[in-house]
Structure 1
Amino acid sequence: MTAIPRALSRATEQLGRTSDTPRLDAELLMAAALGIGRDRLILDSPRGEAPADFYGFVERRQAGEPVAYITGQRAFWTIDLEVGPGALVPRPDSETLIAAAVEHFSGTTGPNRVLDLGTGPGTLLLAALDEWAGATGVGIDASDVALDYARRNAARLGVQDRAEFRIGDWAKGVDERFDLILCNPPYVAEGGPVGPGVAAYEPAEALFAGPEGLDEYRRLAPEIGRLLAPGGLAAIEIGYDQADSATKLFEKHGPHPTLARDLGGRPRALLIEA
């Protein structure tokens, strides 16, 4: 066995061959093995030897398995979500959509009704409901597995009475208008580059969208206008290189979208106002 600081250093070196964030990965895995939060690990690291589980976690990460699948959770915006195989791992880039919504509704009581198309484990809907305590919403996904995670997350966060989850094909059969529409659809071109282990572990149907990565935008673009309430906002995630191509698809069916950028300054969302 090895002392915790030394085990972290060795794991960081090992994971540097397969991960873009080896130290962060090692710390998250160690915290999970110890049953504590990463903040405690950094600020008040327990003494003693690294738990045996830690070494197994590192091996799984070296093989490409997402950290969130290994630990069973992922932080997003102001909430922690349960995640696992069959559900897309929430990405920090998607917080751009929530940040844009916060700005849009600044100075108001916020949205009353929220729609999350392609909700996965409830990521965007549950973040919005945590942000606006008076809101209720609907999350739609084509995956029963993902919706099981979403319902458990809603219950754990205490918002199950404010969140409804439905199996569905985007907005098909939805005839209500919403103040806030959030959507992180598949937008990677078939065969396009993704992060280490992503294609091997995460659901392909949540990642890839045809030869140009635009197939799902073509289906969504005609629907947004009829679903958006007056004064509302739709925030649609895009790939960093899709600002022009995705904008052209949506502006055929409504107002010209504006662009929101992520913390790295890259195009990350189309914003459509009613």
Structure 2
Amino acid sequence: MNRLFSLLGLTFLFSSCSTYYVSKLNSPDLNKNDETGVFVFENDSVQVTYNFFGENAPVTIDVYNKLKEPLYIDWQRSALIVGDQATSYVGDNLVIKGRSLSTGSSYRTFDDWRTSLSEGAFAGTATVPQSLTFIPPHSKIKQTKLKLANLFYENIADSSYRSVDLATIDGAMRKIKVRNYTQENTPLTLRSYLTMYVRDDKTEKTKRMVFEQNFYVNQVSKLGISPANLLSFKSKRGDTFFNKKTKGRGVALVTAAVAIGTLGYVANERNETARSID
């Protein structure tokens, strides 16, 4: 039985193989809502908010049109710049699945009119042209355009973190590793470049507006439990995102082997017990 518990302990050890990196963002250009963590830009024409909450920092952009005329966002001429690498906000893939139904010619029998029908399934992927977004006067849109795939946290030395205690949702305290940054030594910078314009229907002339906002990571926390277990993570702040790093296939194979060995040991122990009873 002691051997069984040892094997189960090994299984647990090898299966706990995910590390989470929780990052916080700051901006030298934008105001940040203290309660929600959402970044806000505002002038006489528009209000733009940025929310990065979630896995791999999904960039969710809200744009409110304050004008009395329609506003257009030109995503083709807009981009997210990570470091010095620009990625266009345009180019979403749409997975298409469904069933087709077509009606053929009608003909009459002695009883009634009959119509021929044909049915079939289809599937595929298409690129949806979303280069322009139309915003009517005094209304807003909300779109999540990109996710961040940059593995910047892998370059942070483990010795540079400091240990702090954070409360979990069940009231316990867990030690996690934290490192703070300034704009000068941050491991990651982001820059959002948005192009918008208004169009005069009478003259058909357009007036272009360009907005550029900067962000940088000012804190990284490293932990061995899901951030969903942290009390501070429950508010889903817009300045917070996380990345998950899972160890390779080898660990999974070892875990599977240990689990199979454990099951084999349990079966063998049961057989030995049965023999002793007989």
Shorter-chain TM-score range: under 0.3
Q: Normalised by the size of structure 1, how large is the TM-score?
A: 0.23
- Specify the structure having the higher radius of gyration (Cα): 2
Question: If each structure's helix is expressed as a fraction of its own residues, which one has the higher value?
Answer: 1
Relative contact order (C-alpha < 8 Å, sep 6+): which is higher?
2
